[in-house]
């Protein structure tokens, strides 16, 4: 007897689900999309059938991802801090690919070199630059996306990258209070705008990683004590740092039509960080 399809699925539908989430026909803009989490997401979107506009600051990284993804990806070397960057990225998506369906904001990072740290040590510059880099850039890209979706009179999806430090602090090794403030604000901002634009079918969600192997995490990768801490703080899959690819399937879900009934949500892909104590190595 031939195997039956699961209840509610027509015969032949199972293969599509097993194969993954399809983004065929979608045009996605990724701010911070040329390296790390954003670069991995750009490649995953292309594999899922989307066309992508990836924005990054480094000319070298732009060249690499352009070569890797070919004609399915337009790349723009620009700084997310510039107010015009997101608008120009959306214009490029419309001009090059004839559409704009989703925005993934990944740009941001640690403000340690500017003076972020524990509250009593944060400099004025550290506070201002960390918030500007992580929160203001996101505001600019989200505003550009919302305006364009409204102008086009079409639904759309916005995915913002947060951090587990927004609500699950780790004082021994990760005391950057301006950064945590910015990432917490992203959650409040996203939920607020998700509520306002739900009637327009414009969705806003947050994807929350813990410690992931990216250029930003270089300090942690070189610190033996932090690596030992990760073994129990992120205990899934043997206790390791996250990889950019660990977030790809969640990003595809939020950027695609399978999440069309989902908005204002926060999804942690954190290796167990937010439910694990972690053991400090003395």
The dihedral over CA atoms of 145, 150, 155, 158, expressed in degrees to the nearest 10, equals 20
Helices 36-47 and 248-255 pack at an angle, to 10 degrees, of 60
By C-alpha distance, which of 162, 160, 282 is closest to 212? 162
pLDDT at residue 17, rounded to an integer: 37
The DSSP bridge pattern shows strands 51-56 and 73-77 to be parallel
The model's pLDDT over 29-68, given as tens digits with 9 standing for 90+, comes to: 999 999 999 999 999 999 999 999 999 999 999 999 999 9
Asked if pLDDT for residue 108 goes beyond 60, the answer is yes
Share of the chain above pLDDT 90, in %: 85
267 or 224, which is more confident = 267
To 10 degrees, the CA torsion angle through 61, 79, 147, 47? 10
Determine the Cα–Cα distance for residues 44 and 54; give it in Å rounded to an integer: 12
The pLDDT tens digits of the residues spanning 118-136 come to 999 999 999 999 999 999 9
Task: Give the whole-angstrom CA distance, residue 232 versus residue 163.
Answer: 18
Domains, the chain: 21-272 (3.40.50.720)
């Amino acid at each position: 007897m031939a195997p039956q399809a699961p209840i509610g699925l027509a015969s032949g539908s199972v293969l599509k689900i097993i194969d993954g989430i399809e983004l065929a026909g979608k045009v996605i803009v990724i701010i911070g999309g040329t390296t790390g989490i954003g670069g991995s997401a750009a490649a995953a979107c292309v594999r899922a059938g989307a066309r992508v506009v990836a924005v990054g600051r480094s000319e070298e990284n732009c060249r690499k991802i352009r070569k890797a993804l070919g004609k399915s990806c337009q790349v723009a070397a620009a700084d997310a801090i510039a107010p015009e960057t997101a608008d120009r990225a959306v214009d490029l998506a419309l001009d090059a690919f004839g559409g704009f369906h989703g925005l993934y904001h990944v740009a941001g990072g640690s403000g340690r070199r500017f003076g972020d740290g524990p509250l009593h040590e944060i400099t004025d510059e550290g506070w201002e630059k960390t918030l500007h880099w992580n929160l203001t850039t996101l505001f600019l890209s989200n505003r550009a996306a919302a305006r364009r979706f409204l102008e086009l009179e079409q639904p759309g999806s916005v995915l913002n990258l947060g951090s587990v430090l927004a609500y699950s602090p780790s004082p021994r090794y990760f005391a950057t209070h301006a950064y945590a403030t910015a990432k917490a604000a992203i959650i409040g901002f996203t939920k607020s705008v998700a509520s306002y634009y739900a009637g327009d079918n414009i969705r806003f969600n947050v994807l929350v990683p813990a410690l992931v192997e990216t250029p930003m995490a270089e300090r942690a990768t070189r610190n033996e004590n932090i690596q030992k801490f990760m073994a129990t703080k992120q205990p899934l899959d043997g206790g390791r740092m996250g990889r950019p690819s660990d977030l790809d399937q969640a990003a595809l879900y939020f950027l695609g039509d399978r999440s069309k009934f989902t908005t204002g949500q926060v999804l942690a892909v954190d290796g167990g960080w937010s439910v694990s104590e972690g053991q400090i190595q003395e």
